[in-house]
Chains A and B, each alone.
Chain A
Amino acid sequence: MVTIDKEKREKALQILKNSNDSKLLTHLNACVRCGLCAGSCMYYLAMKDAKFIPARKVDLVTSIYRRYLTTQGKLMPALFNAKDLDDKMADEMVDLLFGGCTMCGRCVKHCSIGVDISYIVKKGREMLAAMDMVPKTLQSTVDAAINTGNNMGIPTEEFVDTIQWMEEELVDEMQDANARIPLDEQNKHIFYTLNPREPKFFPLSITAMAKVFYAAGESWTLSSKNYDVTNYGYFNGNNAEATQIARNLYDEVKNLHADVLVLGECGHGSRANRWEGPNYLKKEYEFENITAVELMAQYIREGRIKLDKSLNKELMTIHDPCNLIRNGGLLKEMRFVINSAAENVVEMNPYGNDNFCCGGGGGKLAMSEYNERRLKIGGIKAEQIKKTGAKVVITPCHNCVDQLVQINHTYKLGVQIKTIAEIVADALIIDKKQ
């Protein structure tokens, strides 16, 4: 058991003191504990326990803020809901901020005030990280990324073998010896990234994207060492580690002299690099930094790839990854790509900016101690999928894919889970004269 001493507490409080804008101060003071956010949280809806109400998670952090950083909380803590940061409080924070929230931000949009609840949860995680209280399972994922260059600790040789194997598959499929999956090539237009789950479990999604690049006649490369788009440092609350992981990609783009960093299909990875990366590194990126969804949309608009959506006839539905849609603004762009590639698409209810998280966000897939909760909250998504009657669920996020695969199995949905690259690749019209 961790004991919160003065030094640890001071480190945690430093997180709440350090702010270079008014956002933190605002959200620490805005919640009125009306509790109306309860119905927007999948944890609360699935577990029916008041401790999962988002306002309660906010209060864990704000009550500490009031206790130590406001005059009224220092003088009369009982009157102002100000609480000590002690062992009990820290344990509760771990349980609810790491184990009871995916930081999907659904409650944020529906909050009666507009409190950025997931931002406060993130600050709480940063406080816990400062006190060395990150769940070991999550920390080991971050450690793997830092020590090996990818969060699954895949050795470079194994990765290179997989890529070569996928390249052979691509050559066979395209019947073109020039079809390639380039590795470590310099001066290419695009530097593409992967979720390590792809080489490890879903290598065909790499071929799918390679097929899209082939059809578009793109100049691109992968790195054999720094290809990992994920950044679990965003979830463990250790910004130094998040910065180091983001820097790996940044440096590799510079080393290979690429023009555009294209973030593979991963929600949090896209967020951590597209939106948080420049802030971690405290610099604007000199190169373009876009998601694979945006790139495919660009190819379709520019006519660089041609699609025949009748090749995807089955009834399909879309799962919106929180970090790409609600927190990434790609609602329309993603639908443009999917509707260009598939004939029969039906929406879940609710969908888009209101969509429920799959349950695997917030680093949940790395924290096996919360597996039972994760699958229980996934029941909401299972129900949504079931109601659509779709046979295929499309999502541009490999973490979501992983969770959806497990939901599919647990709730016996009998659906196929596909990424957008796979759907687009299936609909491609390859011009052999090219």
Chain B
Amino acid sequence: MIWYQWIAIIAFIICAIVLASDLVKLIKLGNPKDLSRKQGNVPAAIKYSFTGAMSPMAKESAYQHLPTYIGGLLYHMGTFLSLGLFIWFLINISLHAEMHVAIAIIFQIILWISALSGILILLKRIFKQELRSLSGADDYISNILTTLMQIATALFILNTSNEAFYFIVMALFFLWLPFGKTKHVLYFFAARYHLGYFYGWRGTWPQK
């Protein structure tokens, strides 16, 4: 293995350890210890929180901002695809298996669309005064690293000469992920869980 592959692997391990320790902390802290009398169905509400409540028709943040919502959806798809491909590339260092060209091209198209969504979201943050006023360095760095990571992955799929660039970008991404706002990869799920728990306890959700 080459030095930049090692760097990426070490960064990935650091990222996994920090996120895992955050997860353990959340699990240890546990559910809210609510002493009021429960009125609803908490498990059903948590399920609803991850399903029906996430539907674009259930949230103004989605149906009032459809282009951003769709862009965000694509962007996240590209991020998870890139993470999956990173694992595949790591395994493939020893396997030397070749990805079918058609599949590689499909992945590339998805990643280019996703990266473009990331760029548009970034431009929106830069040019929309109100959004700019909410933003700090973390918002720009998180977006740039995630978008760059997708571009690097798209380039690397069919052209391995970009290997050094790819692994270094991935290393930077993994080192940032658990510390910047990108950590919402973990806290998003915890937030949806708590939201379901809260509304479920009080009988607000599942919305009938």
Nearest residue (CB) in A for B179 is: A72
How would you classify the secondary structure of chain A's contact residues: helix, strand, loop or mixed?
loop
Rounded to whole Å, the gap between the CB of B132 and the closest CB of chain A is 9
When distances are taken between beta carbons in the complex, the residues of chain A under 8 Å from B191 are 26-27, 30, 113-116
Q: Give residues of chain A (408-425) contacting chain B, Cβ–Cβ below 8 Å.
A: none
Of B58-66, B102-110, B159-167, the one touching chain A: B58-66
Residue numbers in B under 8 Å from A114 (CB-CB): 49, 53, 188, 191-192, 194-195
- A177 in the interface, Cβ–Cβ < 8 Å? no
B131 contacts A by Cβ under 8 Å: yes
Task: Kindly state whether residue A59 has any CB partner on chain B within 8 Å.
Answer: yes
> B190 is contacted by which of A20, A30, A50, A332 (Cβ under 8 Å)?
A30
Contact of B96 with A by CB under 8 A: no
Chain B residue nearest in CB terms to A59: B134
Q: Which residue of B lies closest to A20 (CB)?
A: B33
| Contact pattern, A 260-293, Cβ under 8 Å of B = 1, otherwise 0 | 0000000000000011111101111100010000
| Chain B interfacial residues counted at CB < 8 A | 57
Cα distance A228–B33 in the bound complex, in angstroms: 27
A276 to B207, CA, bound (A): 22
B134 contacts A22, C-beta separation under 8 Å:
no
Q: Mark interface residues in B49-71 (1 if CB within 8 Å of A CB, else 0).
A: 10001000001111011001100
Contact of B138 among A80, A282, A285 (CB under 8 A): A80
Contact B134 A56 (CB under 8 A): yes
Q: Does A328 contact B (CB under 8 A)?
A: yes
Query: Is A327 in contact with chain B by the CB < 8 A criterion?
Result: yes
A281: B residues at CB distance < 8 A: 35
Contact (Cβ within 8 A) B35 A279: yes
Using CB atoms, name the residue of chain B closest to A327. Answer: B202
The minimal Cβ–Cβ distance linking A59 to chain B, given in whole angstroms, is: 7
- Distance A432 CA – B192 CA, assembled complex (angstroms): 54
Q: By the criterion CB–CB under 8 Å, are A353 and B61 in contact?
A: no
For the residues of B in contact with A, the DSSP-based class is: helix
Residue of B nearest to A29 (CB): B187
Assess the B59–A112 pair: CB atoms within 8 A: yes
Chain B contacts for A56, CB-based, 8 A: 133-134
> Which single member of B29, B31, B34, B202 contacts A25 (CB below 8 Å)?
B29
Are the CB atoms of A108 and B195 closer together than 8 Å?
yes
List residues of chain B with CB within 8 A of the CB of A19. Answer: 29
Contact (Cβ within 8 A) B190 A329: no
CA distance A72 to B176 in the complex (A): 10
Check A81 against B202 for contact (C-beta < 8 Å). Answer: no
B residues less than 8 Å from A326 (CB atoms):
204
Cα A38 to Cα B137 in complex, Å, equals: 21
- From 62 to 119 in chain B, residues with beta carbon under 8 angstroms from any chain A beta carbon are 62, 64-65, 68-69, 72
Contact check: which of B136, B138, B139, B190 meets A26 at CB < 8 Å? B190
Nearest B residue to A277 via CB reads B36
User: Of residues 233 to 274 in A, which have CB atoms within 8 Å of B's CB atoms?
Assistant: 274
Structural contact, B37 and A289, CB atoms closer than 8 A: yes
* CB proximity of B49 to chain A, nearest CB, Å: 7
Give Cα distance in the complex from A40 to B193, angstroms: 21
A230 CA to B3 CA, complexed, in Å: 65
Please report the C-alpha to C-alpha distance between residue A81 and residue B195 in the assembled complex, in whole angstroms. 25
Q: A40-B60, A59-B134, A327-B204 are in contact. Are A113 and B184 (CB under 8 A)?
A: yes
Residues of the A chain whose Cβ atoms lie less than 8 Å from the Cβ of B27: 22
Given A32-B184, A81-B139, A284-B37, check contact A25 B26 (CB 8 Å): yes
Closest to B49 in A: A114
Binary CB contact string for chain B from 169 to 183 against chain A (1 if under 8 A, 0 otherwise): 000000000011101
Neighbour of B187 across the interface among A30, A112, A353, CB < 8 A: A30
Q: Is the CB of A22 within 8 A of B61?
A: no
Task: Give the Cβ gap from A269 to chain B, nearest Cβ, in Å.
Answer: 14
- Complex Cα–Cα for A109 and B137 (A): 28
Partner of A110, one of B59, B194, B204: B59
Give me 13 other A-B pairs in contact (C-beta within 8 A), A22-B25, A36-B62, A285-B37 excluded. Answer: A25-B29, A26-B191, A26-B194, A30-B187, A32-B181, A34-B61, A72-B179, A109-B59, A115-B191, A116-B191, A279-B35, A283-B35, A331-B204
Task: Offer 8 A-B interface pairs, CB within 8 angstroms, sorted by A.
Answer: A22-B190, A32-B184, A36-B65, A39-B64, A53-B130, A114-B49, A114-B192, A326-B204
Residue numbers of B with Cβ under 8 A of A are 22, 25-27, 29-37, 39-40, 49, 53, 59-62, 64-65, 68-69, 72, 129-131, 133-139, 141, 179-181, 183-184, 187-188, 190-195, 198-199, 202-204, 207-208
